[in-house]
Structure 1
């Protein structure tokens, strides 16, 4: 079994996407937050890889689909919709069960601070 860093390096060498954001978010989840089940999944339509991660203390079949982006990236409703469509085309549904309902943006600032922001598809009622 390889270490998380070896796994990350192997993935980066296999897929020639921009990797600095992916590397920062992956290392934050594995080394800082100590998450155990973190996988990388290439998404050609987005020209990047996403991170599939199981957050500790949540049901074992629930994975977060994490998309690293830069703080300087411009987001619009259309861009977010395009992200969901690209992820739908990447067969993430097999991990999400009945369809991708939520993505988590890992927004990386220039000083390497990372903010995780959940975005749900469609209208979602507030938690009671």
Structure 2
């Protein structure tokens, strides 16, 4: 991992949260290289014991927040509330669920009860 070109951008966060390092590394590279997000930055989520990502999809101005995690992790409502609070209450966050076969599924999470679009 430390030989990969993107490691230098994540080096400050990966050693701090070794249990979440793989998910952060994989999600960062997916967003930056495959999905070509811009202005991608790592945010320290100390209460969630991990780094999160903030950036923009191509050709958009909206800044989105992504929290990488593993499929094997257990998450709670309190954990999600802490994440929303530390990310300064965005209208939504995306959970990037990483699996052992390197696939990632993104789930959009909103605070409270949100009616789905018709």
TM-score range, shorter chain: 0.7 to 0.9
The number of equivalent residue pairs is 112
Larger % of helix: which? 1
- The answer on whether the counterparts of 1:4 and 1:30 sit within 8 Å (CA) in structure 2 is no
* TM-score, structure 1 normalization: 0.76
Tell whether 2:84 aligns with 1:101.
no
The 8 Å contact of residues 103 and 120 in structure 1, kept in 2 or not, is answered as yes
Backbone CA RMSD of aligned residues = 2.0
Per the alignment, residue 9 of structure 2 pairs with 7
For residues 21-52 of structure 1, the C-alpha deviation after alignment (integer angstroms, 9 at most, x for no partner) is: 10010011111111121110111111111111
Q: Verify the 8 A CA contact 2:36 2:57 in the aligned structure 1.
A: no
TM-score for both structures, normalised by structure 2: 0.81
Contact 1:40 1:51 survives alignment (8 Å): yes
- Identify unmatched segments of 5+ residues in structure 2: none
Give 1:96's aligned residue: none
Unpaired segments of 5 or more residues in structure 1?
94-98
User: Any idea what SS the aligned residue of 2:57 has?
Assistant: coil
Q: Which runs of 4+ in 1 moved over 4 A?
A: none
Match of 1:43 among 23, 42, 45: 45
